[in-house]
Structure 1
Amino acid sequence: MSTAYVIVTLFGALLAGFSAGSVFFNAKWVVEPLTEYGVPRTWWTWLGVAKAAGAVGLLVGLAVQPIGIAAAVGLVLYFTGAVITVIRARSYAHIPFPLIYAAPAVAALALIG
């Protein structure tokens, strides 16, 4: 396990955890765009849970690699869905935000080995 993989994975877990917490605590910079995008309020908790599970999975993956792989893939898929949601809402200026959160998960997948 390389140092780069550990650092990228820890950073990815931190970002995913921060993103989950932002949903759980109804941070204005998160919930206002979700409302603008048309994401139903009833989904918000589950979206936060998915991100929190991804963060925990990345951390567990440092010890149990298949769990880390599954978590990283799940986060990549999650944030791909977020990009699609932003595009469908025609909020093109917001596209970089989910990509920033997805990048460490993609990098962790690339560095596994």
Structure 2
Amino acid sequence: MFAAYLVVTLLTSAVNGAAAVANLIGHDYPKSQADKMGVPHSWMRPLGTLLGAGALGLLAGLVVPVLGALAAAGLVLYFIGALWAHLRVGDHALGPWSVFFCLPAAALAANLAYHGLG
């Protein structure tokens, strides 16, 4: 069980960390998504910071499990907000969103299962 917990946590952290960096450096993909969703570019850094905090929180959760659970839950909530943004503008191409949503959901489930909280 530990191996699954570790792999899911590290993968989720890496993917969200990469997304955080893309937001923070102003990469074209997050900008195009923001334009598509009607999100101002001024929100890119705060959203990237939230993704980065979630990624680091997942890693910290390997030492302090409650931090990992809270970080994963925060990322799940972040991506529920992203779903709302997509649906609000009528965007139903949710493939990338589903990956970003399912990873922290799996990390949360693995954390809770491994640490006996689920």
User: Which TM-score applies when normalising by structure 1?
Assistant: 0.93
TM-superposition CA deviations, 1:77-105 (whole Å, max 9, x none): 00111111011111211x22122112121
Q: In the TM superposition, what are the counterparts of 1:11-30 in structure 2 within 5 Å?
A: 11-30=11-30
Structure 1 gaps, min length 5: none
Counterpart of 2:41 in structure 1 is 41
Structure 2 Cα separation of the partners of residues 98 and 49 of structure 1: 18
Structure 1 residue ranges, 4+ long, deviating more than 6 angstroms after superposition = none
| Inter-partner Cα distance in structure 2 for 1:57 and 1:12 | 11
2:79 partner letter: F
Counterpart CA distance in 2 for 1:68 and 1:21 is 20
- The residue aligned with 2:55 is 55
Q: Do the aligned residues in 2 keep the contact of 1:20 with 1:48 (CA within 8 Å)? A: yes
CA deviations 1:48-86 (Å, max 9, x no partner) are 000000000000000100000000000000011111101
Structure 2 length normalisation: TM-score?
A: 0.89
Unmatched runs of 5 consecutive residues or more in structure 2: none
CA distance in structure 1 between the partners assigned to 2:41 and 2:27 by the alignment: 14
Query: Aligned residue for 1:100?
Result: 99
Is the CA contact 1:80–1:98 (under 8 Å) kept in the aligned structure 2? no
Residue in structure 2 matched with residue 65 of structure 1 by the alignment: 65
Task: Provide the aligned length of Structure 1 versus Structure 2.
Answer: 112
Aligned to 1:87: 87
1:59 alignment partner AA:
L
